[in-house]
Structure 1
């Protein structure tokens, strides 16, 4: 069998090497050099992350992570298994031959492995982008043969290794479902028209998010010149400002982080006004799940005068729009956000959960009367995807459900089991992890009161928490036919 493969390799290689084509002489060396050290894929990932949407950014992070893992496996494992000499590059035309011939084993092709890993990973999060990158990856594979660096089988095996590493990565950190069916599209209706923002009162935290040449407030003023914008500073009562503004407004707007959004949302509910969400924070969780992915989306929503209703979750006498957590989960959130910019949200979540879990935290509680010892306790307003402990997004903000996730701390061998379940993608079925979707929940803490995190803000310690859902309690402006 190996002799047959070697013979076929030699035949295909010689035919390609001896072919005369100005196109091959021009494109193949350039494409091969561009893929050296994965520079081509890094450049594409940087562009996707900087200028792409939500799925493109996830695809870029997943692709880069897969390249790192693939390079390690290819160079430190497969290239050491069996040495293979490089093909006779003297057969290749001088103009097409690789300028720098690698000195490592020809088998397998590292360039091809990285190309396949990146393309496969991108396709998992963003199929159209993945198809385009896949065509480019195929070109890189051909270029490695055309320039005399590899035999065809080296490239084919490299592709297989890269795709396999990407598939394993998808088990560890599952991609978010790329397509929404019609049942997951929000029901929209007409809202009050706000020509140039007239009748809109925007409560803005101009200090949110990252430093920009033009602040988000400046962008709102330029796009909606008739809107009334009220900024607040440190020590000022946000709710009081919003309450006064609501008395003569047709709609309220909130610009800032999730803490600002939830505070203004509560005032909008009180006055029965629709809310325009402007993503002026760092993470903008609620805005993204509301399908407001950019300031342009927010402006389109206001100008289009279309909207939808979303659920609001309750925690005792307070509300939250995204998530709440009990006990050690605030520590996990803090650790995750330290790592998030470098690793991406879901990979950072896995690392942060492991670090917090190593400290063996324990919170004894009764969940609807059932004793539970939890390491992490998460409650989401609506069901999140994926269904492990790295929730990324919600497809439906009006499902009437609380997404409850518990990582237990009362099981033997919990650390090895956590590692194994994470690596094999079986956490959802593991005994150390519990997930449920309910409309209400009663939690009684055993012992001392503990802190609660609610939409990024830490509330005073309590020992009894009642969670619930107010269905379709908040009306928001939303672009027509929105996407995630």
Structure 2
């Protein structure tokens, strides 16, 4: 057996040298400088971070591809650099294997096997392609060029690159194990609604948040073009948005519909007023991820405009939480999710960090710090005492089950999706992590999932803040969550 392995390795070595000689014999061309620059740009995945940032400026599948790609890079880099290189040390090709003009000034000193650059490139390209085949057509050639550049510049053997590509493709595909692909099918609802035809936005009051989503993409011009007769309202940072909107409605007298162009936090505030005033809502996805717009099936400004022109609308559920605290009782509506535990603290820290740093790095830092210092909550859930690390409450039943809910197949279930991680069992976080990795959460004793119309949460160890749609709410020690069936009329084709 050992003798056969030695012969196999020798054959691989001979093939590597033959391929290196063939590459080295290529004539001098402008491609040499381009491949050297491309190879350097992929150091520490800087190239892919830049491509991800570019893709993230576009909504929908391209943005989801960017996020999945970044996750895949992290996994592929760990497998190649932290596992593969230490376990399989291998000398890199000698400098003399390639002509002088192709040699990198700073040659890497780590093990040659496998190629980390190739693994990261393939992981990113695979992940992006799964979400957006169109974006993948642009990314895949660049990824293959990066992989070949490692041979062209003489820092990797061809077999290093081949195995690296295999690792990257495998890790990219493996992300589906924990993060299922979104099928872009809007959530269904059996409740059609009567809504007025809003030609050019006449008698519409539209809230526009220029600070939502990607910086520099103010949706004002799109809203003005679609609804030239609408009155635009911009959130005042010194006021509560709901109070500001209600005051404007009262001042105007005649408002037949509301519009909103912003992220999910802005959408939730306007949706609350629309539900309470029984006004139809026109939704423009202008946030970072636009979870609600994606689930209800409104992907662009033209779709929202077309729905208002013909008065096509449906009724969908909303979530509501009643908060009891030292300052009295407050109510908050949510269109996506609410949570208790570590998440509200993460949101508060993220907002503080965002004053000096970009949004995504701030979110990553806040998440890491929050998980490290998380403390359990002692609570009564519908009267039953327990301890939890965190509590998730979704507006409607999410799919898939497990710790990565990504979509709502139906928008009118009249139920809340409740998920929580227990803290009263030994090694609960470690057991949860193991169950999540092995996809055995359904059989786990530390993680629970319920679908209920209402949930009463009483804190037994002080006050905490609830987070709704990424926004932090007031302090409270009792929270009553409930589903509000068909509470919102929403324009949708």
Q: Which TM class, normalised by the smaller chain length?
A: 0.7 to 0.9
Counterpart for residue 415 of structure 2: 401
Distance 1:397 1:150, change over 3 A: same
8 A contact 1:35–1:41 mirrored in 2: no
C-alpha distance in 1 between matches for 2:464 and 2:153: 64
- Counterparts of 1:69-468 in structure 2, within 5 Å, are 70-71=76-77, 74-75=80-81, 77-87=83-93, 97-100=102-105, 102-104=107-109, 105-130=111-136, 132-166=138-172, 174-180=178-184, 191-202=195-206, 204=207, 209=212, 216-217=219-220, 219-231=222-234, 233=236, 234-235=238-239, 237-238=243-244, 240-241=246-247, 243-244=249-250, 248-255=254-261, 258=264, 260-279=266-285, 285-292=291-298, 298-299=304-305, 301-303=307-309, 305-316=311-322, 319-326=333-340, 329-335=343-349, 341-343=359-361, 351=368, 354-357=371-374, 360-367=375-382, 369-384=383-398, 387-389=401-403, 391=405, 393-394=407-408, 396-422=410-436, 424=438, 426-427=440-441, 429-446=443-460, 451-455=465-469, 456-459=471-474, 461-463=476-478, 465=480, 467-468=481-482
8 A contact 1:64–1:118 mirrored in 2: yes
User: Among residues 36, 44, 48, which one is paired with 1:41 in the alignment?
Assistant: 48
- Aligned with 1:9: secondary structure? helix
- Counterparts of 1:23-62 in structure 2, within 5 Å, are 25-27=29-31, 30-36=34-40, 37=43, 38-50=45-57, 52-62=58-68
C-alpha distance in 2 between matches for 1:212 and 1:149: 39
C-alpha distance in 2 between matches for 1:31 and 1:256: 41
User: Among residues 4, 16, 19, which one is paired with 2:11 in the alignment?
Assistant: 4
C-alpha distance in 1 between matches for 2:460 and 2:56: 44
Distance 1:306 1:356, change over 3 A: farther
8 A contact 1:176–1:385 mirrored in 2: no
- The worse-fitting range, judged by mean Cα deviation, of 316-325 and 193-202 is 316-325
- The worse-fitting range, judged by mean Cα deviation, of 238-247 and 144-153 is 238-247
Question: Which whole-Å deviations, capped at 9, do the CAs of 1:11-60 have from their partners, x for residues lacking one?
Answer: 44444544x578xx44465235313213432332221122x223323332
Distance 1:417 1:67, change over 3 A: same
8 A contact 2:345–2:370 mirrored in 1: no
- The worse-fitting range, judged by mean Cα deviation, of 408-417 and 329-338 is 329-338
C-alpha distance in 1 between matches for 2:309 and 2:200: 7
C-alpha distance in 2 between matches for 1:427 and 1:351: 22
Aligned length: 466
TM-superposed CA distance for 1:308, in Å, is 2.9
Question: Which whole-Å deviations, capped at 9, do the CAs of 1:51-78 have from their partners, x for residues lacking one?
Answer: x223323332343344355445544553
Question: Which whole-Å deviations, capped at 9, do the CAs of 1:272-307 have from their partners, x for residues lacking one?
Answer: 331112456677553454444565654455456443
- Aligned with 2:484: secondary structure? strand
C-alpha distance in 2 between matches for 1:220 and 1:79: 53
C-alpha distance in 2 between matches for 1:426 and 1:28: 50
Distance 1:157 1:261, change over 3 A: closer
8 A contact 1:70–1:162 mirrored in 2: yes
- Aligned with 2:489: secondary structure? strand
8 A contact 1:197–1:224 mirrored in 2: yes
C-alpha distance in 2 between matches for 1:177 and 1:86: 38
Counterpart for residue 488 of structure 2: 474
Distance 1:412 1:327, change over 3 A: same
8 A contact 1:108–1:155 mirrored in 2: yes
The alignment's TM-score, normalised by the length of structure 2, stands at 0.77
C-alpha distance in 1 between matches for 2:362 and 2:94: 43
8 A contact 1:29–1:98 mirrored in 2: no
TM-superposed CA distance for 1:403, in Å, is 1.1
C-alpha distance in 2 between matches for 1:141 and 1:72: 17
RMSD of aligned alpha carbons: 4.1
- Aligned with 2:487: secondary structure? strand
TM-superposed CA distance for 1:433, in Å, is 1.6
Distance 1:445 1:144, change over 3 A: closer
8 A contact 2:92–2:112 mirrored in 1: yes
TM-superposed CA distance for 1:200, in Å, is 1.4
- Aligned with 1:35: secondary structure? helix
C-alpha distance in 2 between matches for 1:80 and 1:163: 21
- The worse-fitting range, judged by mean Cα deviation, of 160-169 and 191-200 is 160-169
- The worse-fitting range, judged by mean Cα deviation, of 83-92 and 412-421 is 83-92
C-alpha distance in 2 between matches for 1:13 and 1:209: 51
The alignment's TM-score, normalised by the length of structure 1, stands at 0.78
Runs of at least 5 residues in structure 2 that lack an aligned partner in the other structure: 1-7, 323-330
C-alpha distance in 2 between matches for 1:82 and 1:150: 14
C-alpha distance in 1 between matches for 2:398 and 2:36: 41
Distance 1:254 1:140, change over 3 A: closer
